[in-house]
Amino acid sequence: MTPEDRAAIGARRPPWRTGRRSTVRRLPERAAYDRETVEAILDEGFVCHVAFSTEEGPVVLPTAYARVGEVLYLHGAAANHALRTIGGGIPICLAVTLVDGLVLARSAFHHSVNYRSVVVYGHAEEVRDPVEKRAALDAVVDQIVPGRVADARGPSDSELRATRVVRVTIDEASAKCRAGGPKDDAEDVEQGGIWAGHLPLTVVPGTPVPDDPRGERLAVPGYVVRTQRPGR
């Protein structure tokens, strides 16, 4: 799927809004509502945590996702209980969190984590149109490893039937980010004697492990070699 295809699918949906729920109340200086910041975080991640309410209480589950323009797609087995539940159009909330580092202040109180996160309030709807369904599944594969979908064998009709896809309309979205070193009290800095600073954390890909029972020894594709997270 080309970027134009992704944008075209997304263009069907209304734009994002920010409301009372998505307005960051704690440490509002860490909040961001602009599309660029929100989309950059959604595009760098590939696992979200999606929450929905049931009669027995709230449920939150990790799952892969793809952003295509204005919407997010989630997928799973056709019998997947959570997807079936949220596909019915109930309100959902979804978070994507990228952890960038650990912040060690002089005081325990000012310890923190550097992160970039997006919280989305929205609602989901099952995708039944096979064209949109295939495009969404392509997008999920490409969200995980950009470029992969061109090489992989696409879904057969029975695989497509065995898969449930839901389209998440973003009703509200906001980002919250923290970066940099500790913000200690002046007295603690004056006092001195305690090492303080921050430790960047990066997700680093290891050596690709081929699955090659027939001894084909195919070359590792460039998009696998280049896969870097975050900031791929």
If one asks whether residue 5 binds its own copies (CB under 8 A), the answer comes out as: no
Q: Which is nearer to its own copies, 11 or 194 (CB)?
A: 194
Position 7 contacts its own copies (CB under 8 A): no
Q: Residue 11 or 60: which CB sits closer to its own copies?
A: 60
d(CA 227, CA 208): 10
In sign, the C-alpha dihedral spanning 77, 81, 83, 87 is positive
CB 15 within 8 A of CB 122: no
Q: Does 213 engage in binding with its own copies (CB under 8 A)?
A: yes
For residue 182, give the H/E element and its range. none
Q: Taking the alpha carbons of 11, 166, 35, 63 in that order, is the dihedral positive or negative?
A: negative
Are 196 and 105 in contact by the 8 Å Cβ rule? The answer is yes
From 2-10, 66-74, 98-106, 124-132, give the range in contact with its own copies by CB under 8 A: 98-106
Which residue in 4, 15, 62, 131 binds its own copies (CB under 8 A)? Answer: 62
64 touches its own copies by CB under 8 A: yes
> Which H or E run contains 187?
helix 186-191
Q: Is 12 in the site for its own copies (CB under 8 A)?
A: no
* Residue 212 lies near its own copies (rule: CB under 8 A): yes
How many residues touch its own copies (CB under 8 A)? 100
Q: At what angle do helices 130-144 and 3-10 cross, to 10 degrees?
A: 120
Query: Which is closer to its own copies, CB of 40 or CB of 61?
Result: 61
Under the binding rule (CB under 8 A), the answer on residue 26 touching its own copies is yes
CB of 197 to its own copies, least distance (A): 4
- Residue 174 lies near its own copies (rule: CB under 8 A): no
Q: How many Å apart are CA 44 and CA 200, to the nearest integer?
A: 17
